[in-house]
Amino acid sequence: MTIEIITTKSLKPVAHGFFTRRGGASSGVFQGLNCGKGSSDQADIVRINRARVAREMGVEPEALVTLNQVHSADVVHVTAPFSGALPRADAMVTATPGLALGILTADCQPVLFADAEAGVIGGAHAGWKGAIGGVLEATIEAMIALGARREAIVAVVGPSISQRNYEVGPEFLESFLDEDPDHARFFAGGAAGKAHFDLPGFGLHRLREAGIAHAEWTRHCTYADPDRFYSYRRSVHQREADYGRLIAVIRL
Domains of the chain, residue spans: 5-162+198-251
Assign 190 a pLDDT band (cuts: 50, 70, 90).
low
User: Is residue 61 within 8 Å of 51, Cβ to Cβ?
Assistant: yes
Query: Which of 49-63, 76-90, 113-127, 191-205 is least confident?
Result: 191-205
pLDDT digits (tens, 9 = 90+) for 20-38: 999 999 999 999 999 999 8
pLDDT at residue 1 greater than cutoff 90: no
How far apart, in whole angstroms, are the C-alpha atoms of residue 43 and residue 30? 12
- pLDDT of res. 189: 81
How far apart, in whole angstroms, are the C-alpha atoms of residue 67 and residue 26? 21
* Strand order across the 187-189 sheet: 167-168, 195-197, 187-189
CB-based burial label for 10 (10 Å; 0-12, 13-18, 19+): middle
Backbone angles phi, psi at 245, to 5 degrees: -120, 130
Q: Would you say the pTM of this structure is higher than 0.85?
A: yes
Helix (H, G, I), strand (E, B) or coil at 238: coil
- pLDDT of res. 191: 66
pLDDT at residue 193 greater than cutoff 80: no
Percent of the chain with pLDDT over 90: 92
Q: To the nearest 10°, the Cα dihedral for 49, 50, 51, 54? A: 130
- pLDDT of res. 38: 85
CATH of 5-162+198-251, one of 3.60.140.10, 3.40.50.300, 3.40.720.10, 3.50.50.60: 3.60.140.10
pLDDT at residue 15 greater than cutoff 90: yes
- pLDDT of res. 58: 97
Assign 192 a pLDDT band (cuts: 50, 70, 90).
low
How far apart, in whole angstroms, are the C-alpha atoms of residue 68 and residue 46? 15
- pLDDT of res. 194: 81
* Strand order across the 120-126 sheet: 75-77, 91-94, 120-126, 109-115, 154-157, 214-217
- pLDDT of res. 243: 95
